[in-house]
Amino acid sequence: MFIMSEDSQRTQGRDAQSSNIMAGKAVAEAVRTTLGPRGMDKMLVDSGGEVVITNDGATILNEMDIEHPAAQMIVEVSESQEEEVGDGTTTAAVIAGNLLGEAEDLIEQDVHATTIVEGYHEASEIALEAIAEQVNEADVDDEILKQVGESSMTGKGTGGLTAESLAETVVEAIRHVETDDGVARDNVTVHTQIGASSNATELVPGIVLDEEPAHDSMPREVEDASIAVLDVELGVRTGDIDAEYAIDSIDQLNTAIDAEESEVRGYAEDVAESGADVVITTDDVDDRVSSYLASEGILVFENVGNSDARDIVSATGARRVGALEDLEEADFGAADRIRAENFGDDDLAFIEGGAAAETVTVFVRGGTEHVVDELERAIGDALDVVATALASGEVVPGAGATEIAIADKIREEAAGIEGRKQLAVTAFADAIDIVPRTLAANTGQDPIDALVDLRAAHESEGRAGLITTGEDVTIDDPFEHGVVDPADVKREAIESATEAATMIVRIDDVIAAE
């Protein structure tokens, strides 16, 4: 009797566990060499020849065409980490892979998968306690926030800029969107533009749009701008059906032309008389209207996207108007300055210092597409972690110091756990050691020797991380060197890695339908 299709494939027991664990470990290994300030980049080439060069864990795993369901779970760990806290994606994936490796050794020693799962969950609770103990007691001020941002970007592609100078821009951006209700991270956007050194990267107190003036004669800059945002076509009205009109004389033709000109000029005069300096519409603007408004010194942007129109309304305090006759001064938004600039073949509009300015833009420059793409990813991660640190007010030492503390506390607590579950708890601590070991390996150090030295320094001094300064690698207190991470990044990495690893370990039957 056939219960499943003849084409179905089924893997059970140890074979299923081994296959899933091997797949998860392979994915983690793929990103392990990118971890830390001396981590290497990956070049990813898709079937269409598109190239991505990055050392961002989430980007690498997303670009890899992974089909194995267990391996996909590790990718989801990275995605969850990116979505929740914005950084630590490689750390989470590497920890998950090493948890699977330790679990594989336990399974070979006949430790039941359920026992491993229980031990891992208990160890993760101890790990969260260890993270809480490592939180810096000092208030999270701008200096610490800069250190958080700089630590996040160190080792990532930042073009000719140093992580320190970028971190200042990141902190300024996050502080701008800080409110009594928290940090409005979504109000910080990143806009990239190829064609200059990354040193030209700047913070724009407003928004940047891919738009150009509707007419070449229009002003390129307007200060103290009154802005009208319209959902109106400024041109000759056309019917919804095809129609033909018979004209029998020159007089009739002239009358038709005059009527059309009158309609067009009426639109232009209505806009000019409204008092608006800048007009932004989501629809078309007739060339004759544009020409007239240009002569009146009015700057117009046409065919603006709906999402961009919403951003403009948010930044300037304007109200969108659907009919020109409804336009009133109360509908106007305001901005300190609106300017249109040309960058090679591209035109951009800068709307700065709006009356209701809730949005700021990090305007990223770079010489090539690969540079600006990687710089955009680095700044995006830094913005996320700085916002996370500011919102929680909790930071912990980086450079592997927190992981050393976690592993040490888990081993201490493991002594009081009975039965085979103790093996799983101890294995969890061994898995956490992968972070400082990988940091050491990626800086050219011997991983075992570095781990021994880190543990000894932790026992004697309380905090010990692998500090990279120039060509030197030393063991010291990360706080003294400004190597700082948000506590929430560490918590999320532990929790998401544990959940993925335990889910994979519990699978003992894989059924694949063709």
Report the alpha-carbon distance of residue 425 to residue 409 in Å, rounded: 11
Residue 422 burial (CB count, 10 A): 17
Contact between 369 and 194 under an 8 Å Cβ cutoff? The reply is yes
Residues near 263 by beta carbon (within 8 Å), at least 6 away in sequence: 236, 237
* Chain-centroid distance, C-alpha 19: 32
* Amino acid letter, 138: A
Nearest 10 degrees: Cα torsion 508, 510, 511, 514: -170
Known catalytic residue at 361: no
Q: Is 216 tagged catalytic?
A: no
Sequence-distant (6+) residues with CB within 8 A of 120 are 99, 103, 424, 425, 428, 498, 501, 502, 505
Alpha carbons within 13 angstroms on the beta-carbon side of residue 103 total: 35
Q: In whole angstroms, give the CA distance from residue 171 to residue 217.
A: 39
Annotated catalytic residue within 33, 34, 54, 90: 90
Q: Are 114 and 506 in contact (CB under 8 A)?
A: yes
Burial of 384 (0-12, 13-18, 19+ CB in 10 A): buried
Torsion of CA 254, 256, 262, 264, to 10 degrees: -120
Contact 20, 70 (CB under 8 A): yes
The number of C-alpha atoms within 13 Å of 175 and in the hemisphere containing its C-beta is 15
**What does DSSP say about strands 395-397 and 484-486: parallel, antiparallel, or unpaired?**
antiparallel
Residue 408 bears catalytic tag: no
Among 87, 373, 381, 384, which one carries the catalytic annotation?
Answer: 381
- Report the Cα–Cα distance between both ends of the chain, in Å, rounded: 19
Residue tagged 């108007």 (tokens): 321
The one-letter code for the residue type at 152 is: S
Q: State the number of CA atoms in the 13 A half-sphere of 489 facing the CB.
A: 32
89 catalytic per annotation: yes
**Residue 95 class from Cβ within 10 Å (0-12 exposed, 13-18 middle, 19+ buried)?**
buried
If one counts every other C-beta atom within 10 angstroms of the C-beta of residue 240, the result is: 5
Residue 253's contacts (CB-CB under 8 Å, 6 or more residues apart) are 247
**In whole angstroms, what is the distance from residue 296 CA to residue 349 CA?**
20
Picking from 292, 310, 290, the residue whose alpha carbon sits closest to that of residue 300 is 290
Q: Which two tokens stand for residue 264?
A: 């067009």
Region for residue 246 given its phi and psi (left: phi exceeds 0; alpha: psi -120 to 50; beta: otherwise): beta
Active site residue: 34, 54, 89, 281, which one?
89
Catalytic residue among 56, 373, 476, 488: 56
Catalytic residues: 56, 89-90, 381
